[in-house]
Chains A and B, each alone.
Chain A
Amino acid sequence: MTGKVIAVANMKGGVGKTATVVGLAEALAASGAQTLVIDLDPQANASICLAGDSVLKQLIEGGKTIDGFLEDRIFKKRNTNFDDCIRSNVSNVRHTNHMQLPISLLASSSELRLVERELIFRLTRAERNLDWIVEQLYAAIRDQLRYTRNNYDYILFDCAPGISALTEVSVRLADMVIVPTIPDFLSTYGLQSFCSNLWTGEIAKQSTLKKPKKKPHVLITRRRPIKEHARTTEKLLNERHKERPSFLLLETEIPEMAAIADALGRIQGAPTILQKWRAGSAAILASLSKEIKGALHGA
């Protein structure tokens, strides 16, 4: 088993990154795939959606988080591995056959922001440049993924909004980058700058690290039946016909649905995937997971 790494990222917040990660992780797991979610957002929203509050509290108290890992590895020079921090069988969601979905989690906590600040502090004291941080993080996470990806079919990174060092690392390490985007003016404006920054712009050119493997895949999210969304979707579709498209567009679209917002809040009990997402959004997630598998495995 050599797991495929998927990074879900966008510079803009509120576009549905976490909803995409949680929904996609559950859809992939429901198809029988061993799935790992690595939460890189200090807001820890994906962590709480997947693990629930009591398990997340245990993980944070035990230092079993991405920030705990980075602190141990980079600052304390300990040999902590991803496997020491990953919590398996974390999902409360059941398949329709009542089996628990095979999802594992490397959680995040608000301490991640402090770890990033500490890195910057050390960088300035040591008179290093920002690339040094990215290189440190890149090396630490790449080395872990070499082993961890053998245990999973899919590894999903939930990136924080903006372009942090961790986002840059996950984009460079990923086999596929999904950029959830609302088809409106502000979101697509952010999309252009995000793509140019990481794939073709200055950041991409200056970095000595490995370039992202493929162009990003844009996923239309929170689409509403309004003219602006229809017009913007059309513009996004036109990217396909450009000689050098800066991104690829996924066929699956995620509409604005109350069921999705409700589903993310269902962290108690043990609903089946259909009970959690309702039939409409579960079907969309199944279609998304199928399309992503196709894109990754060349189906």
Chain B
Amino acid sequence: MYSFWLFFAGPSIAGGVVPVAIDDIAKQMLALLPNDGTPVLNRVMQVMLSRELGVAIDQDQFFTARDALLQQGRVGRLRGQGGQVFLLRELQPNEAPVAAQPERWPEARLMASLKIYLEGPFRKGLELPPDGICLVQDTSAMGPVRGRWARPDFILIAARRFKFIPSPQLDVHSFELKTETGADDLAVYEALAQTRFTHFGYLVWHLPDQSKAETRLDEIEKQCEEHGIGLIRMRDPNDPNACEILLDPVRKATLAATVDDFLELRLTDAQRKDIQHAMTEARP
């Protein structure tokens, strides 16, 4: 039960005041929320409450009632678009627990999974020689403040030398990471724009099996192919081996000087020294 009985004054038709108990608002909110847990925008719920109760419900009243329900574990909340509220169902006796809600994977959380994948299975797939080096750098917060699409989420630098060809080779890969709902045409162009500074551009898309977003996969893949961008599907962020390269990128003829300038600003001193060492050291 509600442990408080606060009254707020809501305006009435006559311009006077009508007292509204917060627990009346809370009860009505529970009655109005969809039973299947579909979230409702806070501002929509506020209007629905005013309509049902016949008095204007202001933000203070609404949030006091909602916070009380949150504390009691009766409702949940989501962020974005002014916030949303949804009903948390209580399990009835003998009722089997419903399938767990899909885990939420915001981009910040996916970054750690991508790093593990790049340092593990992806690096292995490059088949670097024993004296080759591979560096993975989080560049999502590096680069010009106003530079548009100049901040790949990760870059991977692979330096190698060959048995017969005298000059060493440096490849810079850039990775643009997108959440399940975040991949669209623009994401492909973003990955493409990043190849202004690198040789290979990838779009990494968290796309679980049976995701509704799968309907966009063909279109995204086609766009990537047209622009020579690689596409990596991250099925399960908990399992780095579940990433799949759907499309290999085409190597861009980015000017060496441009790549040099880019790396200058993204790598640490130690990383730069490692690369210089790998590129210049005499062959064993």
Tell whether, in the assembled complex, residue A270 and residue B15 are in contact, meaning their CB atoms are under 8 Å apart: no
Name the residue of chain B whose CB is nearest to the CB of A1.
Answer: B15
On whether A270 and B44 interact (CB within 8 A), knowing A55-B52, A89-B55, A90-B51, the answer reads: yes
The interface centre, meaning the residue of B15, B46, B50 with most chain A CB atoms within 10 A of its CB, is: B50
10-59 of chain A: CB within 8 A of chain B: 36, 51-52, 54-55
Name the residue of chain B whose CB is nearest to the CB of A104.
Answer: B13
Name the residue of chain B whose CB is nearest to the CB of A97.
Answer: B43
Q: Does A86 contact B (CB under 8 A)?
A: yes
Bound Cα distance A269, B12 (Å): 22
Q: Does B245 contact A (CB under 8 A)?
A: no
Tell whether, in the assembled complex, residue A270 and residue B47 are in contact, meaning their CB atoms are under 8 Å apart: yes
We find that the number of chain B residues with CB closer than 8 angstroms to chain A is 19
Q: Does A92 contact B (CB under 8 A)?
A: yes
Q: Does B56 contact A (CB under 8 A)?
A: yes
On whether A88 and B13 interact (CB within 8 A), knowing A54-B52, A55-B52, A100-B56, the answer reads: yes
Q: In the assembled complex, which residues on chain A have CB atoms less than 8 Å from the CB atom of B41?
A: 270
On whether A100 and B50 interact (CB within 8 A), knowing A89-B56, A270-B43, the answer reads: yes
Bound Cα distance A269, B56 (Å): 16
Q: Does B14 contact A (CB under 8 A)?
A: yes
Q: Does B48 contact A (CB under 8 A)?
A: yes
Q: Does A222 contact B (CB under 8 A)?
A: no
Q: In the assembled complex, which residues on chain A have CB atoms less than 8 Å from the CB atom of B44?
A: 94, 269-270
Q: How does the 8 Å CB contact mask read for A89-107 relative to B, with 1 for contact and 0 for none? A: 1111110001010001000
Q: In the assembled complex, which residues on chain B have CB atoms less than 8 Å from the CB atom of A104?
A: 13
Q: How does the 8 Å CB contact mask read for A48-87 relative to B, with 1 for contact and 0 for none? A: 0001101100000000000000000000000000010011
We find that the number of chain A residues with CB closer than 8 angstroms to chain B is 21
Partner of B54, one of A90, A98, A269: A90
Q: In the assembled complex, which residues on chain B have CB atoms less than 8 Å from the CB atom of A86?
A: 13
Nearest CB in chain A: distance from B32 CB, A: 9
Bound Cα distance A52, B52 (Å): 10
Name the residue of chain B whose CB is nearest to the CB of A58.
Answer: B52
Nearest CB in chain A: distance from B281 CB, A: 65
Tell whether, in the assembled complex, residue B43 and residue A98 are in contact, meaning their CB atoms are under 8 Å apart: yes
Q: In the assembled complex, which residues on chain B have CB atoms less than 8 Å from the CB atom of A91?
A: 47, 51
Tell whether, in the assembled complex, residue B51 and residue A100 are in contact, meaning their CB atoms are under 8 Å apart: yes
Tell whether, in the assembled complex, residue B13 and residue A83 are in contact, meaning their CB atoms are under 8 Å apart: yes
Tell whether, in the assembled complex, residue A94 and residue B52 are in contact, meaning their CB atoms are under 8 Å apart: no
Tell whether, in the assembled complex, residue B51 and residue A151 are in contact, meaning their CB atoms are under 8 Å apart: no
Q: In the assembled complex, which residues on chain B have CB atoms less than 8 Å from the CB atom of A52?
A: 51
Bound Cα distance A270, B48 (Å): 7
Bound Cα distance A39, B50 (Å): 21
Name the residue of chain A whose CB is nearest to the CB of B13.
Answer: A88
On whether A87 and B54 interact (CB within 8 A), knowing A151-B13, A151-B14, the answer reads: yes
Q: In the assembled complex, which residues on chain B have CB atoms less than 8 Å from the CB atom of A89?
A: 50-51, 53-56
Q: In the assembled complex, which residues on chain B have CB atoms less than 8 Å from the CB atom of A54?
A: 52
Bound Cα distance A52, B47 (Å): 13
Q: In the assembled complex, which residues on chain B have CB atoms less than 8 Å from the CB atom of A55?
A: 51-52, 54
Q: In the assembled complex, which residues on chain A have CB atoms less than 8 Å from the CB atom of B14?
A: 83, 151
Q: Known contacts A55-B51, A151-B13, A270-B43; can you find 19 more A-B pairs with CB under 8 A?
A: A36-B13, A52-B51, A88-B55, A88-B56, A89-B50, A89-B53, A90-B51, A91-B51, A92-B51, A94-B47, A100-B46, A100-B47, A100-B51, A104-B13, A269-B44, A269-B48, A270-B41, A270-B44, A270-B47
Name 19 interchain pairs, CB-CB below 8 A, sorted by A: A36-B13, A51-B51, A55-B51, A83-B13, A83-B14, A86-B13, A87-B54, A89-B55, A90-B54, A94-B43, A94-B44, A98-B43, A100-B46, A100-B50, A104-B13, A151-B13, A269-B48, A270-B45, A270-B47
Residues in B lying within 8 Å of A, measured CB to CB: 12-15, 41, 43-48, 50-56, 82
